[in-house]
Structures are given as C-alpha cells and as structure tokens.
C-alpha cells in the first residue's frame, strides 16, 4: 500500500500504479453521455490519463486546464481526465471553461479502476476518490510514464509526462 499526503497529513492509497514498460489495465468508465468507454476505444492513439480526485478542486481544475492546453499541440494524443466525479459535473466544468481537448471519464460505476491503477484513496477526507496521478501510454497501451503525486494538493510533473511522448 502506497502513501501520499493531503495537506501534509498521511493518506493511504491502495492498488498498483502501472509502471513504465507494463501494459495498462483495460477499464470501462462512464463518459458525459453515460456511455461506457474502454481504454481500447482510443487504441492507436497515445493517451495521457490525468487521474484526479475532483474537478471541483483548484489543483484538479488547473491540471485539467494545463493538459487541455498542451494536448491541442500533440499529434495522435488524447487526454483522458478521470475522476469519481459524476459525468455531468465533469462535462459542466469543461463546458464552462471552454476545454475541448480533454475527454472526461468517471469511475463512479467502476471501483475496480482505482485499485487497478493504484489510486484508491482508502483513508482521509478524500477516501473513496482517486489519488492524483498521471499515466502516459503509447499507441499500443504500453506505459511510458507514471506518477503518483506525493502531495494531493500539488500539480503533477507536466514536463515529465509530455517528455515521455517524445
């Protein structure tokens, strides 16, 4: 079991974050149209999984905005913003912000995602949400980069994530 902090306080995280060289576990998550979407739906594209607790927090909103900005200049790359937020809330946020270069997905119907991706917050006030992490995949679903952000209140290392794409 990994540990991160929230405001400097320890929080337990369960599961195993996919590591570089591994094949990312498949999933079925819910999009804003309430449809199930699997990782394979983006087969042949590079994928940045921006995994966040909730778009309703400042840091999560900032990472979603930043990846939206960066994604517009990347070839054959999709950014998937994954949280336990209801699909309506994530879509509303992106619509209000004018964010068109990210795809929001919710794990509210798939608790296994948090375990499979090593982001299951099992203690603290965010228990049941996702820890902050970034997983970068190539066109075939191989992990190029992964980061479990050690302090939930901090943004991920964007430069390292984007550098993994070459």
Write the CA distances from 102 to 4, 8, 74, integer angstroms.
26, 30, 12
Here the contacts of 40-46 (C-beta below 8 Å, separation 24 or greater) are 40/141, 42/78, 42/80, 43/139, 43/140, 43/141, 44/76, 44/139, 45/76, 45/77, 45/78, 45/139, 46/74, 46/76, 46/77, 46/78, 46/136, 46/137, 46/138, 46/139, 46/165
> Tokens 């302090």 label which residue?
151
60 is catalytic: yes
Q: How many helices (DSSP H) and strands (DSSP E) are in the chain?
A: 4, 10
Q: Which two tokens stand for residue 68?
A: 């939206």
* Residues annotated as part of the active site: 60
């Amino acid at each position: 079991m990994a540990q991160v902090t929230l405001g400097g306080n320890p929080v337990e995280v369960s599961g195993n974050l996919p590591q570089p060289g591994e094949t990312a576990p498949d999933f079925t998550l819910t999009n804003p149209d309430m449809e199930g979407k699997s990782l394979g739906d983006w087969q042949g594209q590079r994928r940045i999984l921006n995994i966040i607790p909730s778009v309703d927090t400042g840091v999560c909103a900032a990472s979603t905005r930043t990846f939206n900005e960066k994604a517009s200049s990347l070839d054959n790359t999709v950014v998937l913003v994954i949280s336990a937020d209801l699909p309506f809330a994530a879509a509303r946020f992106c619509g209000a912000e004018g964010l068109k270069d990210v795809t929001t997905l919710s794990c509210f119907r798939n608790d296994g995602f948090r375990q499979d991706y090593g982001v299951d917050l099992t203690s603290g006030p965010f228990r049941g949400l996702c820890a902050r992490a970034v997983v970068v995949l190539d066109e075939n679903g191989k992990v190029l980069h992964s980061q479990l952000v050690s302090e939930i209140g901090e943004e991920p290392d964007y430069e390292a994530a984007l550098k993994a794409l070459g």
